[in-house]
Amino acid sequence: MAGAEVMLQCKSRTSNEVVYTKKGKTDATGAYTIYVDEDHADEVCSAKLVSSPHPECREMTPGRDEALVILTRYNGIASDDRFANAMGFMSQDVAAGCAEVLKQYQEFDNEN
């Protein structure tokens, strides 16, 4: 989804206080890049969804609205590039065929 706003947020491990934030936007492919020059070894950092540009798809998917990101060079990773897990928004409209897929899963669960 192009134009979704994302934010990188780092919190202190000891006080849980927000010590760093930086925002970015997704491109036409839904990817985003946020450049960070500092090392955040003593902090817990996450990429978070902030907002969606689509009125029909604004609700953040529970459990997929945030992704942990390790921002230090002192962890054995040779590259400076870091990748966050996929995050996403939910549509207000139910996709065609969704009921059939859910029914198949229910039948599978009942068999086991």
What's the pLDDT tens digit per position in 28-86? Answer: 999 999 999 999 998 999 999 999 999 888 899 999 999 999 998 888 888 888 889 99
The residue written with tokens 């990748």 in the block is: 83
Rounded CA separation 24/5 (Å)? 6
Rounded CA separation 44/100 (Å)? 41
Backbone angles phi, psi at 51, to 5 degrees: -160, 155
Q: What local confidence, expressed as pLDDT, does residue 111 receive?
A: 65
For the chain, domain boundaries: 5-111
Q: Note the pTM of the prediction, 2 decimals.
A: 0.76
